[in-house]
């Protein structure tokens, strides 16, 4: 295993030599539990490149600008929910996170409470994320027959858990996708959503290419849901924790907002350049408590040598986000804004 603790080395390996380091280590739980639907976990190849292209067409910065009015609307809804019911703030954060990504990917507007599509996502993600543990992957890699034992046999809980997870993940993949297909036909969804836009592109392709394209589109769409659900909600939770621990930062942020925005409206993206302290808080929130402190592991697809170090094919490359964000060389101005716990 290679642990990368430096930003320059991370850029040299994972960016400039991405052809070698874009692969993923083998996880025995991915296929049985249905998590190969997340293209962030699949190996480097044609399918991965197609999924990544579809994903970046929607989420690259210049393309994502068109979704800003919707994001502001969802943020306002979240604020109203927080005022009405502050006790369940984590639920409101999760609802906000899903509402933004479901609108972006499927043009689906979720209900504030008890939305059936949200329940499908939660039923798939919450159990699934607890099952994708390194020890379970090692167990299945060592004893793959555990996926084939009879239901009544000792040890069948792994197979039964995999079957249930696969069913839920498949439902999460197909149900919202069918929603877009059905509503595209009657013109009731926005043609700018990720899935609707690419369904139009798919219709112009050769018949033999459509199946692979549709499968890649489903994976890219589901990956967006998975990536957004917990990371956005968790980042908002980190922000709340920081404001509780650092009330002086909160007071200064409120003072800047009041002086620039006033009290008659909420901030928008157009105000960002006029709110440098708020911008620093956003950046510091990402740095202070990274949601994925060790990133998603990569794997070397061929032998390589970097600055005299031999990296064999198959070596696992781990990006130490936690350590790198605490590297004080080239420190940005927002580093250490939350002095307590930084």
Residues 18-59: tens digit of each pLDDT? 889 989 988 888 888 888 889 888 888 899 899 999 999 888
Residues 55, 15: one domain? no
Q: Is the pLDDT of residue 340 over 70?
A: no
Are 232 and 258 in the same domain?
no
Looking at per-residue confidence, does 151 or 170 come out higher? 170
Same-domain pairing of 241 and 266: no
Dist CA 122 CA 169 (whole Å): 10
- Are both 52 and 19 inside the same structural domain? no
What is the domain count for the chain?
Answer: 2
Task: Label residue 275 by pLDDT band (50, 70, 90).
Answer: very high
Residue whose structure tokens are 């490359």: 317
Q: Where in the sequence is the domain holding 21, given as residue range(s)?
A: 1-25+247-342
Strand 316-319 and strand 2-4: the pairing is parallel
200, 221, 245: which is the final residue of a domain?
245
Give this prediction's pTM.
0.84
CA count, 13 A, side-chain hemisphere, 202? 20
Residue 17 above 80 pLDDT? Answer: yes
196, 229, 245: which is the final residue of a domain? 245
Question: Is the same domain home to 257 and 222?
Answer: no
Distance CA 11, CA 13 (A): 6
Catalogue the E-assigned strands of 92-173.
none
């Amino acid at each position: 295993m290679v642990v990368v603790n430096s930003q320059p080395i991370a850029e040299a390996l994972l960016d400039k030599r991405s052809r070698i380091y874009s692969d993923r280590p083998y996880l025995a739980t991915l296929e049985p539990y249905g998590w190969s639907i997340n293209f962030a976990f699949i190996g480097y190849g044609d399918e991965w490149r197609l999924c990544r292209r579809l994903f970046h067409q929607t989420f690259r910065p210049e393309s994502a600008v068109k979704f800003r009015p919707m994001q502001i609307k969802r943020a306002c809804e979240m604020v109203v929910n927080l005022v009405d019911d502050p006790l369940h703030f984590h639920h409101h954060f999760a609802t906000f996170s899903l509402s933004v990504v479901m609108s972006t990917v499927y043009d689906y507007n979720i209900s504030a409470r008890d939305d059936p599509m949200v329940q499908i996502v939660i039923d798939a993600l919450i159990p699934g994320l607890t099952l994708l543990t390194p020890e379970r992957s090692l167990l299945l890699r060592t004893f793959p027959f555990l996926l084939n034992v009879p239901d009544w046999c000792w040890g069948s809980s792994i197979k039964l858990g995999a079957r249930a997870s696969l069913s839920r993940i498949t439902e999460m993949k197909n149900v919202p996708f069918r929603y877009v297909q059905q509503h595209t036909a009657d013109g009731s969804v926005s043609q700018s959503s990720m899935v609707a836009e690419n369904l139009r592109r798919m219709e112009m392709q050769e018949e033999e290419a459509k199946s692979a394209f549709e499968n890649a589109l489903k994976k890219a769409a589901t990956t967006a849901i998975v990536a957004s659900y917990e990371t956005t909600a968790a980042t908002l939770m980190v922000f709340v924790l920081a404001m509780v621990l650092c009330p002086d930062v909160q007071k200064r942020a409120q003072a800047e907002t009041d002086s620039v925005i006033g009290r008659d409206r909420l901030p928008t993206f157009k105000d960002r350049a006029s709110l440098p302290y708020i911008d620093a808080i956003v950046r510091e929130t990402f740095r202070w408590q990274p949601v994925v402190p060790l990133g998603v592991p990569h794997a070397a697809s061929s032998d390589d040598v970097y600055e005299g170090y031999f990296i064999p094919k198959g070596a696992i490359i781990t990006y130490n986000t936690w350590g790198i964000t605490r590297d004080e060389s080239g420190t940005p101005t927002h580093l250490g804004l939350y002095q307590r716990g930084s």
